[in-house]
Structures are given as C-alpha cells and as structure tokens.
Amino acid sequence: MNKKVAYSLALIAALAAPFLVYPVFLMKVLCFALFACAFNLLIGFTGLLSFGHAAFFGGAGYVAGYALRNIGLPFELGLVAGVLAAALIGLVMGLLAIRRQGIYFTMITLALAQMLFFVFLQAPFTGGEDGMQGVPRGKLLGMVELSSDMTLYYVVLAIAVAGFAVIVRTVHSPFGQVMKAIKENEPRAISLGYDVDKYKLLAFVLSAALSGLAGATKTVVLGFETLTDVHWSMSGLVVLMTLVGGLGTLAGPVAGAIVIIALENKLGDMGDWLAVTTNIEWFRSIGESVTIVTGFIFIICVLAFRRGIVGEFAALAKLKHITPTATGKNAAVS
C-alpha cells in the first residue's frame, strides 16, 4: 500500500476514533506514540540507545504544569516552556554523553536522568511523591475552551500529527541521511568529513524536544504530573514500545505504543470480565500483572518478530513484491 494512502487512512481512523473509544485514553496513546517516535528517531535512525528519555518526558511535564498552574501562562506557552526545558536538558545531557559510545553512552544517560529524578523528588514545586496536581487545561488561542475531552482530543491529535510530520521530514532530509550513515558505519561517516558528534548532538536535542512535547501534552491531558514519568522505568517502557512496534520504522513506535498502553489500561478490565464470565476469581489478578504480560509479549517479539510488528509486516510485503519479479526473470532466462 502506498504510504500516503496508509497515512490518510490512519488519519481518518484517528478523526473518527473518539466517537468509539474514550477520548482521554486515546489522548494518552497519542502522547506515548509521539514519545516513542521521538525516541525511535535517536535509536532507530542514529543508533544511539538512550536510557534517560524519561528526564525529557517527565521534566517537560513538570515545567509545563508549573507554567500553566503557578505562573498562569496560556496553553500554547505552557507547552513551549515544556519543550524548551526538555531541549535544554537534552543539550546538557548530550554534551556530557555524546562523546561516548555503546553501553557507556547508555549508562551516562541513565545516570544523568536518575540525578534529575532525585531533583524532582526533592524540589518544592513538584509536590514530591504526591505529584503536581490541578494542572489546568486552559484555552486554545485564548478563545477555545479545552475543558471538553472531545475538543482537547483534536488539539492533541494535531500536536501528535505535527510532531510525527517533523520526524518524517527529518528522516527524509539530508540531515536524516547523515544520521543513517552514522548508524550504519560511523568511521566511514567521519572519513567523509562529517562532524559526527555535532550530528549526534543535534539528533539528541531534537529527540529530547519532541519527547518533551509529548510529556507536556500528557500533563495537560491528565491534569497532573508524577514522579513515574521521570523514573528510569519510563525510559524502559519507551524502549519496549519501540522494539515491539518496530525499531527503525516510522509507524512501528506508534503500533508499539498502542499495544503497550492498551494492555496497561485494559488488562484489569479484561481480568474482571473473565472472572465474571468463568466464575474463576484468579483472573482478577491479571490486572496486577501488567509488567509480566508486557514482558511476555516482549519475549515473543524478540524471538518471533525480531523486526517488531510493523517491521515484520513491511518485510513480508516487500518479499511478496519482489518474489513475482524474480520468478518472471528466472522464467525468461529459462
């Protein structure tokens, strides 16, 4: 299927979705889908595994929440404040980590993110373990009231689509081609005269800014921000989303986010339904075992779908497209 047709169908489905599914759940999925796509921009197209992306996601959420609730900034400026904060954190972390490679780079990002976690734990404006509560949604352009879930959904959808469009444009730009070259063969990229560290830093900051946009938007949607979003487990969750959906694919992280968030939110309801239907109370414990189920799915994907959900479908479609051509050539030669 043509990519433009696929994107158009996905957009139509997204426009119709809030009439069928709870809008707040859909907005949460959109925020995490953008977060996973931003992370994939770094690992899937530049080859840098960061384990500190929770710092950008949660950090932007806290800054945006503080700007909206305490300072009283309008909706748009609150999001901008969150994005700028995430970009600044990404710049500092990138300058410290970018000159290292492999596991050393990953461990530095993890250590820096955990340092930031303890800062937010003790900072007075974050609310500590209680979290930041009562973040207002405000108004769009000072006119459109965002208290309605349906109205806010379409605003969040526009933000997610805009973020995804930036990622697609970046990947298909000359800058994106250099990113891919760094991932495939960094020494060769250096030999061609590219300042690899500069390109890595730019990719890191861009990924951090887009992650911050996702985190700030999520805070507005839910009306609160907690330490969960800056904990290292959130970095692990976005890694899981990307790998399950398809590393290095544009749509893969979106699919991974849908699967993981749907499991987190619906597994408990599914367990209750099974308990009532089968009269077996054990099924109610399924909702408390989300991490076990997601871990099991991750193991299946690693063993059976190494390219991820979207990656496997893309490989299968490509194989079907190539096979008839190859068969025809062989027949002609015969």
Write out pLDDT tens, residues 178-187. 999 988 888 8
pLDDT score of 93:
92
Residues 6+ apart with CB under 8 A from 89: 55, 56, 59, 116, 208, 212
CA 131 to chain centre: 22
Alpha-carbon radius of gyration of the chain: 21
Average pLDDT over residues 145-156: 88
pLDDT over threshold 60, residue 324: no
pLDDT score of 91:
94
Both tokens of residue 180? 């891919």
Query: Rounded to the nearest 5°, which phi and psi values hold at 24?
Result: -65, -40
Average pLDDT over residues 133-160: 86
Average pLDDT over residues 174-179: 90
pLDDT score of 278:
67
Residues 6+ apart with CB under 8 A from 94: 200, 201, 204, 205, 208
Q: Which domains does the chain have, with CATH numbers?
A: 17-323 (1.10.3470)
Q: DSSP 3-state assignment of 250? A: coil
Q: Are 268 and 286 in contact (CB under 8 A)?
A: yes
Query: Rounded to the nearest 5°, which phi and psi values hold at 31?
Result: -65, -45
Range among 14-18, 87-91, 236-240, 325-329 with highest mean pLDDT value: 87-91
Higher pLDDT, 146 or 94: 94
pLDDT over threshold 60, residue 245: yes
Average pLDDT over residues 185-194: 87
Could you tell me the pLDDT band of residue 39, with boundaries at 50, 70 and 90?
A: very high
In whole angstroms, how far apart are CA 95 and each of 20, 98, 115, 189, 194? 45, 6, 16, 20, 18
Amino acid at 10: A
Average pLDDT over residues 101-117: 90
Q: What are the strands, taking DSSP E only, across 1-149?
A: 139-140, 144-145
- pLDDT tens digits for range 276-311: 666 665 555 655 566 676 677 777 777 777 777 777
pLDDT over threshold 80, residue 57: yes
Dist. CA 106–CA 235, nearest whole Å: 11
Could you tell me the pLDDT band of residue 157, with boundaries at 50, 70 and 90?
A: very high
298 by Cβ neighbours in 10 Å (0-12 / 13-18 / 19+) ranks as: middle
pLDDT score of 17:
83
pLDDT score of 14:
84
Q: Are 310 and 249 in contact (CB under 8 A)?
A: yes
Higher pLDDT, 315 or 132: 132
Residues 6+ apart with CB under 8 A from 49: 43, 105, 106, 239
Average pLDDT over residues 111-128: 88
Q: What is the DSSP letter of 52?
A: -
Average pLDDT, the chain: 83
pLDDT over threshold 60, residue 224: yes
Percent of the chain past pLDDT 90, that is, above it, reads 32
In whole angstroms, how far apart are CA 74 and each of 155, 304, 308? 14, 48, 40
Q: Which residue is associated with the tokens 């487990």?
A: 233
pLDDT score of 332:
45
For 138: left if phi > 0, alpha if psi spans -120 to 50, otherwise beta; the answer is left
pLDDT over threshold 90, residue 218: yes
pLDDT score of 184:
87
Average pLDDT over residues 135-159: 86
Residues 6+ apart with CB under 8 A from 143: none
For 132: left if phi > 0, alpha if psi spans -120 to 50, otherwise beta; the answer is beta
pLDDT score of 231:
87
pLDDT score of 2:
66
196-222 vs 174-184: helix crossing angle, rounded to 10: 110
Average pLDDT over residues 45-71: 90
